[in-house]
Amino acid sequence: MPRVLGSRYELRAMLGTGSMARVVEAYDLMLDREVAIKFLRSDAADAEGRARFVREAHAAASFVHPHVVTIYDAGEEGSRPFLVMELVRGPNLAEVMRSRGPLTPGESVTIAAQMLDALAAAHDLGWLHRDVKPSNVLFVDATTIKLADFGLAKSMNDVAGAITRPGQVLGTPMYLAPEQSRGRRTTPSSDLYSVGIVVFQMLTGGVPYSAKNLVELAIAHQESPIPPVLRDDVPDALAVAVARAMEKDPLDRFPSARAMQAALLAAVATPQFAAP
Task: Please state, for a pLDDT cut of 90, what percent of the chain lies above it.
Answer: 54
Range with the poorest average pLDDT among 68-77, 114-123, 170-179, 236-245 = 170-179
Q: Enumerate the domain spans of the chain.
A: 4-86, 93-273
Work out the average pLDDT over 119-134.
Answer: 90
Range of lowest pLDDT (4-8, 93-97, 137-141, 239-243): 4-8
pLDDT, residue 129, reads 87
Is there a catalytic annotation at residue 131? Answer: yes
Amino acid at 223: E
CB half-sphere exposure, 29, CA atoms < 13 A: 11
Determine the pLDDT at residue 175: 93
Name the CATH topology of 4-86.
Answer: Phosphorylase Kinase; domain 1 (3.30.200)
pLDDT digits (tens, 9 = 90+) for 188-233: 999 999 999 999 999 999 999 988 888 899 899 999 999 999 899 9
Q: What value does the mean pLDDT take over residues 105-124? A: 95
Q: What is the pLDDT of residue 211?
A: 86
Q: Which of 73, 117, 131, 191 is catalytic?
A: 131
Specify whether domain 93-273 bears CATH 1.10.3470.10: no
What values do phi and psi take at 174, rounded to 5? Answer: -65, -20
The rounded percent of the chain whose pLDDT value lies above 70 is 85
What are the CA-CA distances from residue 64 to residues 33, 71, 182, 257 (Å)? Answer: 18, 9, 32, 18
For the chain, the average pLDDT equals 85
CA dist 16 and 132 (Å) reads: 18
